[in-house]
């Protein structure tokens, strides 16, 4: 019987263990933490968005430069396959109004409990508090509370995650281990992340934690309608995350990204100008904008944060209209990677073969967020990680049978 070791107890590793053990293979799964699926539980904190219902062609485009690679992975284990798998574990799914797919419980914990219970019934062996250190004489090395632990493994799947939320276990410490083996690893960077903005103390104190809703964000040729959150020192949230890879890359190249915000997308230029022609009388600028345009306090506060705020009270109707429809927010850096939802960068696809096996490390496979890809939130991340684990597991089975 072949000995299969899986390092990392996240979605990719657990799915690989599920398929391999269901096919009768001996599987041992190792995690550096005392419990499994910690980041999976974090993903479900606000409702587990497990996949998306849009047509597969559009779905696959969400993986950007790696769309071709993920086409075969997602075709192998589709969103419908994932829904069927959830139902097998007692968790029926539903499609939300946005097209996102959720378990009916809306939680990650029931699904994870059922998943781990099934793996136990399939005789998967769980090893907790085992911190992988690399190889010695082709044996896996783990640091444990009882010292170093060595494992001979016929097949190994590395599914150690990226570098976001390091307190949950995925801190990117594997990068140096693989680079020492000659594996090419692209720089790990924040993805689906927030950005630093230079707020005044007054603005930060008043609006920290508040949402700016129903706005339209533009960056180059991309537009995103939605909302985002004002933080103490910047911005984050769904609409920002959707553009984060483009904003981050722009900052990397030019040191700054200029995000354009339409604060009143439901009104065209003519309508706004018409309303701004009304006399202000004795109204303050804030009350005038609130009354005539129904702008929120956050939107008005943002206008007052403009670099031209000293001139703001004397703006003409045309200048004010431009500020509302074309507000420019300068972003100079991302939030720290440990605050990001996911990471970009990782093991280069040139370092693995078509089966996701390392080219220069026989029978060692890579799955999940360790690889150099990124995708937006909305179910694309979990779908890819779970499908990737399934893909690698089935490739190992084919390898063994050959």
Q: What is the pLDDT of residues 73-129, one digit of tens each?
A: 999 999 999 999 999 999 999 999 999 999 999 999 999 999 999 999 999 999 999
* Contact criterion met (CB below 8 Å) for 219 and 260: yes
Half-sphere exposure of 313 (CA within 13 A, CB side): 5
Q: Which of 300, 298, 303 is nearest to 286 (CA)?
A: 300
> Is the domain of 253 the same as that of 275?
yes
Q: What is the pLDDT of residues 244-302, one digit of tens each?
A: 999 999 999 999 999 999 999 999 999 999 999 998 888 888 899 999 999 999 999 99
> Is the domain of 231 the same as that of 329?
yes
Q: What is the pLDDT of residues 335-383, one digit of tens each?
A: 999 999 999 999 999 999 999 999 999 999 999 999 999 999 999 999 9
> Is the domain of 102 the same as that of 81?
yes
Domain of 383, in residue numbers: 3-191+340-401
Average pLDDT over residues 167-188: 96
Q: Which of 104, 69, 12, 129 is nearest to 373 (CA)?
A: 69
> Is the domain of 107 the same as that of 233?
no
Taking CA atoms, 338 is separated from 174, 250, 264, 343, in Å, by: 16, 21, 33, 9
- pLDDT of 309 reads 65
Q: Which of 211, 236, 240 is nearest to 225 (CA)?
A: 240
> Is the domain of 283 the same as that of 321?
yes
Write the CATH number for 111: 3.50.50.60
> Is the domain of 353 the same as that of 394?
yes
Q: Could you give the 3-state DSSP secondary structure of residue 182? A: coil
Q: Which of 110, 140, 113, 103 is nearest to 14 (CA)?
A: 113
Give the span between the Cα atoms of 171 and 253, in whole angstroms: 25
- pLDDT of 282 reads 86
401 φψ region: left (φ > 0), alpha (ψ -120 to 50), beta (else): alpha
> Is the domain of 113 the same as that of 227?
no
Q: Which of 374, 343, 377 is nearest to 166 (CA)?
A: 343
What DSSP string describes 306-353?
A: STTGGGGGG--HHHHHHHHHSEEEEE-EEPPGGGSSEEEEEE-GGGB-
Q: Which of 334, 361, 380 is the endpoint of a domain?
A: 334
> Is the domain of 165 the same as that of 278?
no
Dihedral through CA 22, CA 121, CA 161, CA 238, nearest 10?
100
Give the span between the Cα atoms of 86 and 104, in whole angstroms: 10
How many structural domains does the chain have? Answer: 2
Q: How confident is the model at residue 46 (pLDDT cuts 50, 70, 90)?
A: confident
């Amino acid at each position: 019987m072949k000995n299969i070791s899986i390092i990392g107890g996240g979605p990719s590793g657990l799915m690989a263990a599920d398929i391999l053990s269901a096919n009768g293979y001996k599987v041992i799964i190792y995690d550096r933490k005392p419990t499994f699926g910690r980041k999976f539980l974090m993903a479900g904190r606000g409702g587990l968005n497990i996949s998306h219902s849009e047509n597969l062609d559009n779905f696959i485009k969400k993986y950007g430069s790696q769309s071709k690679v993920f086409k075969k992975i997602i075709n192998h284990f589709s969103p419908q396959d994932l829904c069927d798998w959830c139902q097998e574990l007692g968790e029926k799914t539903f499609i939300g109004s946005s097209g996102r797919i959720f378990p009916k419980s809306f939680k990650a914990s029931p699904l994870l409990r059922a998943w781990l219970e099934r793996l136990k019934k399939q005789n998967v062996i769980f090893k907790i508090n085992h911190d992988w250190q690399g190889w010695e004489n082709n044996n896996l090395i783990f640091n444990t509370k009882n010292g170093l632990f060595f494992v001979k493994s016929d097949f190994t799947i590395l599914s150690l995650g990226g570098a976001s939320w390091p307190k949950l276990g995925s801190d990117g410490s594997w990068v140096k281990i693989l680079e020492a083996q000659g594996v090419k690893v692209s720089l790990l960077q924040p993805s689906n992340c927030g950005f630093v903005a230079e707020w005044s103390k007054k603005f930060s104190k008043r609006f920290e934690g508040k949402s700016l809703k129903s706005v339209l964000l533009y960056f180059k040729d991309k537009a995103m309608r939605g909302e985002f959150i004002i933080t103490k020192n910047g911005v984050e949230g769904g609409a920002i995350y959707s553009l984060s890879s483009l904003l981050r890359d722009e900052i990397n190249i030019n040191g700054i990204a200029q995000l354009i915000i339409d604060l009143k997308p439901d009104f065209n230029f003519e309508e706004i100008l018409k309303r701004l022609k009304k006399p202000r009388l004795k109204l303050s600028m804030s009350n005038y904008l609130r009354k005539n345009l129904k702008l929120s306090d956050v939107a008005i506060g943002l206008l007052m944060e403009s670099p031209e705020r000293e001139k703001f009270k004397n703006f003409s109707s045309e200048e004010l209209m431009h500020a509302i429809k074309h507000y420019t927010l300068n972003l100079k850096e991302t939030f720290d990677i440990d605050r990001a939802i996911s990471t970009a960068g990782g093991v280069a696809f040139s370092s693995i073969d078509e089966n996701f096996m390392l080219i220069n490390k026989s029978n060692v496979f890579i799955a999940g967020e360790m690889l150099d890809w990124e995708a937006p939130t909305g179910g694309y991340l979990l779908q890819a990680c779970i499908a990737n684990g399934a893909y690698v597991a089935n490739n190992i089975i084919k390898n063994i049978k050959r």
